[in-house]
Amino acid sequence: QSALTQPPSVSGSPGQSVTISCTGTSSDVGSYNRVSWYQQPPGTAPKLMIYEVSNRPSGVPERFSGSKSDNTASLTISGLQAEDEADYYCSSYTTSSTWVFGGGTKLTVL
Amino acid sequence: EVQLLNSGGGLVQPGGSLRLSCAASGFTFSSYAMIWVRQAPGKGLEWVSGVSGSGDSAYYADSVKDRFTISRDNSKNTLYLQLNSLRAEDTAVYYCAKNSGSHHKYYFDYWGQGTPVTVSS
């Protein structure tokens, strides 16, 4: 199972919006709405930010939103804040009954 | 409050074995599937294995199949990962995580703090 494809890095200034893409195949992202996004600041465990494509867990700011089109999912962070600087990973359930993660995207807040 | 406490990591020689544990609290352990995810130094996350809430069904990544075994003891609220025939490329921080449902097809809503495994002679 190949990793989902994410851009290695994105950046934005405070207050701006950034979008991180996550491209898979018809065997994972394209088959299910079981795409989730995780935030991982350096040296810490991942934290769930978005589940089932576009749902936010309690406590996650509304600035974080998710979407999906065909084999590509996206995470958008609007009104960037310094505290958003972290690595972000997408993940998807697959038709092989396994999970696959993206390679990760480092978000830099300028 | 959901808590997942990882333990059992350490330094092991190639070909050796190790058993990782994940002690859970704050939820009805047997009602939720659990998974293991690892992260090699400086690398991304890799799903390793998952087990259903009852323990009847287990799933593995191809990279660890036939070498790693996931299990759980619902009477002790503890998840395990037995690592055998370890290789240098298994060096990583291993995280346990809780699925949001009884089947491992559900997303992961809580994570442990991770335990490091180093495979080296």
**Tens of pLDDT along B24-56?**
999 999 999 999 999 999 999 999 999 999 999
> Contact A51/B100, CB-based, under 8 Å?
yes
Closest chain A residue to B93, measured at CA: A45
Give dist(CA B71, CA A64) in Å, integer. Answer: 35
Which residues of chain B have a CB within 8 Å of the CB of A100?
47
Beta-carbon neighbour count of residue A52 at 10 Å?
15
Give pLDDT, residue A6: 97
CB atoms B45 and A1 under 8 Å: no
Q: Which of A54, A95, A98, A105 to probe the B interface (max B CBs under 10 A)?
A: A98
**A3 in reach of chain B (CB within 8 A):** yes
Q: Do A34 and B106 touch (CB under 8 A)?
A: yes
Q: Give the DSSP H/E element, type plus range, for residue B71.
A: strand B68-73
Instruction: Label residue B103 by pLDDT band (50, 70, 90).
Output: confident
Q: What is the pLDDT of residues A41-82, one digit of tens each?
A: 999 999 999 999 999 999 999 999 999 999 999 999 999 999
